[in-house]
Amino acid sequence: MECLCTKIDDLGYSTIEHEIVRYYDLGSVNSSGLPITLSDDEYGTYYINGTRKHGDFSIRITKQPDGKYSLFVVAYNLKKHKNR
């Protein structure tokens, strides 16, 4: 399993979703189970459905001393859409 590990500046879903979509090449997002805002020390599994792929993503966020956040993501059941 590939793991996304990166630093982000804020906890808005669009920032987190963008990092996941880009890293796992999901295409444009059709739907997402991410909450509007996540919190530091957050851990959960969320579903994202992109135009190319879809799957469940285990997300862990920790706050760093520099004020930024570490984002750790592992994809589970990542699948390509059929006929695409």
29-78 residue pLDDT tens: 999 999 988 888 889 999 999 999 999 999 999 999 999 999 999 999 99
| Region of residue 7 (left: phi > 0; alpha: psi -120 to 50; beta: else) | beta
The answer to whether residues 33 and 23 touch, using CB atoms and an 8 Å cutoff, is no
Does pTM surpass 0.75?
yes
C-alpha to C-alpha distance for 38 and 54, rounded to whole angstroms: 21
pLDDT for residue 14 is more than 60: yes
State residue 38's pLDDT score: 87
The answer to whether residues 69 and 60 touch, using CB atoms and an 8 Å cutoff, is no
b/e burial code for range 70-81 (CB count within 10 A of at least 16 → b): ebebbbeebeee
Q: Tokens 């059941």 belong to which residue?
A: 77
